[in-house]
């Protein structure tokens, strides 16, 4: 039997602008994860058992563009696995779907790693990352590649599209509270809406993306130097720029405001937006208080995580 696990992630700075070549910072969130357990089976075929999405099916009965089937088909094809083995693939995930925590990329990474290990087709991290990016492209249109990168390497990532992966140092650990609006929001739609804005007024949105880039540059420096006090303001600035891009929502804004009122040092939405998650920077001893206020303001779930 082979098991594999991949973490969730949050984007600290730079979502959306990253699609247009600006830098973004993302970190893994190990409190949530996708887990794959793969074993040889007596039953003919490749059976997928994913109770979280109510799925128990043989691979060939699924449409070829099914997210799980596409990972398995593409892997078997690229790794030239023939004949297909009889397998049971169990998939479970605690990462909420379509919420900006990288559930799709985490399942792809865990699944391809389990398949490559079980079938003795070794893959480097670079290959796993490239594979997961191709899968992201199938389902998300024009992804920047940040999700698959931070999840594959499970390290803080300073990400610039089509550049080699770069990690960054965390000078002083800091605490983030994640608040989930509970509203699933497909990233594809918000990314496509931002593209529409950009096409209608290129100069205006390029300037907004440059504003985000300035925030991300500054944030990297601040995090590396351990100047945590300055990070909150940068988050607030980034949230205001995301609001301009129309990708925040009343629910996200309410949680961001609630976190700030409860004593967070700064807060912003995280990921594609319109729903999904927001993040708040807090002093460690304030984490529970801020999490409680987020729940009172409507958060369906909160996670406290340390970036270190
Ligand atoms: O997958 P999400 O919701 O965390 O969003 C990814 C971040 C975007 O910048 C909005 C899109 C992308 O591909 O980078």
Q: Is the pLDDT of residue 141 over 80?
A: no
Chain region(s) in the chain for CATH 3.30.70.890:
169-307
Q: Is the pLDDT of residue 185 over 80?
A: yes
Q: What is the mean pLDDT of the chain?
A: 96
| DSSP code of residue 298 | T
Q: Say what the pLDDT of residue 64 is.
A: 85
Mean pLDDT of 231-240: 98
How confident is the model over 13-58, as pLDDT tens digits? 999 999 999 999 999 999 999 999 999 999 999 999 999 999 999 9
Q: Which residues are catalytic?
A: 147
Chain region(s) in the chain for CATH 3.30.230.10:
2-159
Beginning with the edge strand found earlier in the chain, give each strand of the sheet holding 174-180 in spatial order: 266-270, 277-282, 174-180, 301-307
Mean pLDDT of 220-241: 97
Q: Is the pLDDT of residue 8 over 90?
A: yes
162, 179, 183, 273 from 296: Cα distances, Å: 41, 11, 16, 21
Q: Say what the pLDDT of residue 142 is.
A: 83
Q: Are strands 87-93 and 46-50 parallel, antiparallel or unpaired?
A: parallel
Q: How confident is the model at residue 11 (pLDDT cuts 50, 70, 90)?
A: very high
Q: What is the 3-state secondary structure (H, E, C) of 216-262?
A: HHHHHHHHHHCCHHHHHHHHHHHHHHHHHCCCCCHHHHHHHHHHHHC
Mean pLDDT of 70-76: 95
Give the mutation target among 133, 146, 188 for probing the ligand 1 site: most ligand atoms within 8 A of CB. 146
How confident is the model over 143-156, as pLDDT tens digits? 999 999 999 999 99
Separation between Cα atoms, residue 129 and residue 250, nearest integer Å: 34
Q: What percent of the chain has pLDDT over 70?
A: 100
Q: Is the CB of 232 under 6 A from ligand 1?
A: no
The CA 85 to ligand 1 mean position distance, Å, reads: 35
Q: Which CATH architecture has domain 2-159?
A: 2-Layer Sandwich (3.30)
Q: Say what the pLDDT of residue 65 is.
A: 87
Topology of domain 169-307, CATH: Alpha-Beta Plaits (3.30.70)
Among the atoms of ligand 1, which is closest to the Cα of residue 105?
Answer: 1
* Contacts of 282 by beta carbon, 8 Å cutoff, 6+ apart: 175, 176, 177, 259, 263, 264, 265, 290
Q: What is the CA radius of gyration of the chain?
A: 20
Q: Is the CB of 271 under 6 A from ligand 1?
A: yes
Q: Is the CB of 16 under 6 A from ligand 1?
A: yes
The CA 64 to ligand 1 mean position distance, Å, reads: 24
Mean pLDDT of 266-288: 97
* 140 vs 70, higher pLDDT: 70
Q: Is the CB of 245 under 6 A from ligand 1?
A: no
Q: Is the pLDDT of residue 278 over 90?
A: yes
Q: Is the CB of 115 under 6 A from ligand 1?
A: no
How confident is the model over 205-223, as pLDDT tens digits? 999 999 999 999 999 999 9
Give the mutation target among 12, 18, 20, 25 for probing the ligand 1 site: most ligand atoms within 8 A of CB. 18
């Amino acid at each position: 039997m082979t098991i594999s696990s991949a973490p969730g992630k949050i984007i600290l700075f730079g979502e959306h602008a990253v699609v247009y070549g600006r830098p973004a910072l993302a970190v893994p969130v190990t409190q949530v994860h996708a887990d794959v357990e793969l074993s040889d089976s007596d039953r003919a075929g490749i059976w997928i058992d994913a109770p979280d999405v109510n799925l128990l099916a043989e691979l060939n009965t699924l449409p070829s563009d099914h997210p799980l089937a596409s990972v398995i088909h593409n892997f078997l094809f690229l790794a030239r696995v023939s004949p297909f083995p009889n397998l049971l693939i169990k998939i479970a995930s605690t990462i909420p779907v379509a919420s900006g925590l990288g559930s799709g990329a985490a399942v792809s990474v865990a699944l391809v790693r389990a398949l490559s290990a079980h079938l003795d087709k070794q893959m480097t991290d670079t290959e796993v990352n490239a594979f997961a990016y191709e899968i992201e492209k199938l389902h998300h249109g024009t992804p920047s590649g940040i999700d698959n990168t931070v999840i594959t390497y499970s390290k803080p990532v300073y990400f610039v599209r089509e550049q080699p992966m770069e990690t960054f140092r965390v000078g002083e650990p800091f605490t983030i509270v994640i608040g989930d609006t509970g509203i699933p929001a497909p990233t594809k739609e918000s990314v496509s809406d931002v593209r529409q804005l950009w096409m209608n007024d290129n100069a205006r949105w390029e300037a907004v993306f440059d504003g985000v880039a300035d925030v991300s540059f500054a944030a990297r420096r601040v995090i590396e130097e351990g100047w945590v006090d300055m990070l909150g303001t940068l988050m607030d600035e980034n949230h205001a720029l995301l609001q301009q891009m129309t990708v925040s929502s009343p629910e996200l804004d309410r949680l961001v405001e609630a976190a700030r009122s409860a004593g967070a040092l700064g807060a912003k939405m995280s990921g594609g937006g319109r729903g999904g998650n927001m993040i708040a920077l807090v002093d460690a001893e304030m984490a529970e208080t801020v999490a409680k206020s987020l729940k009172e303001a409507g958060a369906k779930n909160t996670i406290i995580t340390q970036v270190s």
